């Protein structure tokens, strides 16, 4: 008898993003039938990697509803990681991609007879902001669509928030700390988020459920610095951004994206520990620790 998970046609929306690519890689490693929604303007190095893994391409754009309708024909499962937050494509914004585009995707998936929709969102924070509002709207739309759904809400990605891109400049032993740096966060690796997402596919235990996920332990930003100092053998220079300054950035934000990033930095400052007991009872997984991540990037620097 054939495995139904293997037979299912899975469309990854956001396939050329960092998380989307890792999801595609893991799906193919598990012999799944994987398609990636790819734009004409997608980066060549990323499409090349996807092709090497055996991912099949379907051309489409969340802003182009007709392209979604065509791409979704025959698809059984949709996994959507797409977001405008790190996109530099013309016309991409929280409104056009995270709100209207994802809503279009849900509507067309329902019309095409998609059976399961796996959506990457994030945990609710009391400080409302445009990206959160868009994701909440899409979640509600999926819930009422009649499709089986699974929502994955990861904590802060190690590779993003413990990187020079947001001020954690470990190559130069400098770190920007938002707030006092004492509140604990369950930092999670992109590969672990992908593993949880892949485990949702055709999983009865994941039917119509929401999973908040994080790493193996909650660690404060100052504790993270100490871990990196030990791994690299260097003392870090710290710069603190007070909560009042972050609040000022939020108040003065000129657009939706700036306001959303300011909100996420405030979220970081307040901390975000995650209880992993329930998720790990459904998905058996050895989670990557901050110590392992620090050792990995320190070793790469030394090469």
Backbone angles phi, psi at 294, to 5 degrees: -60, -40
- Per-residue confidence (pLDDT) for residue 302, from 0 to 100: 66
Q: How many CB atoms lie within 10 A of CB 144?
A: 10
Phi, psi of 138 (to 5 degrees): -65, -40
- The helix (H) or strand (E) run that includes residue 33 is strand 33-38
Block mean pLDDT (10 aa), the chain, length 303: 63 95 97 94 90 95 96 98 79 91 97 98 85 94 97 96 95 96 97 97 95 96 98 96 95 90 93 92 92 92 66
Helices 290-302 and 221-232, packing angle to 10 deg = 40
Q: Residue 3: its pLDDT value, please?
A: 45
Q: What pLDDT was estimated at residue 24?
A: 98
pLDDT at 5: 45
Closest C-alpha to 114, from 69, 170, 55, 50? 69
pLDDT recorded at residue 98: 92
- Which pTM was predicted? 0.93
Q: Order of strands across the sheet with 237-241?
A: 168-169, 174-178, 237-241
- Number of neighbours of residue 171 by Cβ within 10 angstroms: 12
The encoded tokens of residue 279 equal 């998720």
Contact 194, 27 (CB under 8 A): no
d(CA 58, CA 13) in angstroms, rounded, equals: 10
What gap in Å lies between CA 282 and CA 213, rounded to an integer?
12
CATH classification (class only), 4-155+190-213+275-287: alpha beta
**Torsion angles phi and psi, residue 185, rounded to 5:** -130, 140
- Measured N-to-C along each axis, helices 18-29 and 190-199 cross at an angle, to the nearest 10 degrees, of 50
Please state, in angstroms and as integers, the Cα–Cα distance from residue 277 to each residue in 87, 149, 161, 284, following that order.
34, 21, 24, 10
**Ranges of each domain in the chain:** 4-155+190-213+275-287
Question: Can you give the pLDDT at residue 282?
Answer: 86
CB 187 within 8 A of CB 156: yes
């Amino acid at each position: 008898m054939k495995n139904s998970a293997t037979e299912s046609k899975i469309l990854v929306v956001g396939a050329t993003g960092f998380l989307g690519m890792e999801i595609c890689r893991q799906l193919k490693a598990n012999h799944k039938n994987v398609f990636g929604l790819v734009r004409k303007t997608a980066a060549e190095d990323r499409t090349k990697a996807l092709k090497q893994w055996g991912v099949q391409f379907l051309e489409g754009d969340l802003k182009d509803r007709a392209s979604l309708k065509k791409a979704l024909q025959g698809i059984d499962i949709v996994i959507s990681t797409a977001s405008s937050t790190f996109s530099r494509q013309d016309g991409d914004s929280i409104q056009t991609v995270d709100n209207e585009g994802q809503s279009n995707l849900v509507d067309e998936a329902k019309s095409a007879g998609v059976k399961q929709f796996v959506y990457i969102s994030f945990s609710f924070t009391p400080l409302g902001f445009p990206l959160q509002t868009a994701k909440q709207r899409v979640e509600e739309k999926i819930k009422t669509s009649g499709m089986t759904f699974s929502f994955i809400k990861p904590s802060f990605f190690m590779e993003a928030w413990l990187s020079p891109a947001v001020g954690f400049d470990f190559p130069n032993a400098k770190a920007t700390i938002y707030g006092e740096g004492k509140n604990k966060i369950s930092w999670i690796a992109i590969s672990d988020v992908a593993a949880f997402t892949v485990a949702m596919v055709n999983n009865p235990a994941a039917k119509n459920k929401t999973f908040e996920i994080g790493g193996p332990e909650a660690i404060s930003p100052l504790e993270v610095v100490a871990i990196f100092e030990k791994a690299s053998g260097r003392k870090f220079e710290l710069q603190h951004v007070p909560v009042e300054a972050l609040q000022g950035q939020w108040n003065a934000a000129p657009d939706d994206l700036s306001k959303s990033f300011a909100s996420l930095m405030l979220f970081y400052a307040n901390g975000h520990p995650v209880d992993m007991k329930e998720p790990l009872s459904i998905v058996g997984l050895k989670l990557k620790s901050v110590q392992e991540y620090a050792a990995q990037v320190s070793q790469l620097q030394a090469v």
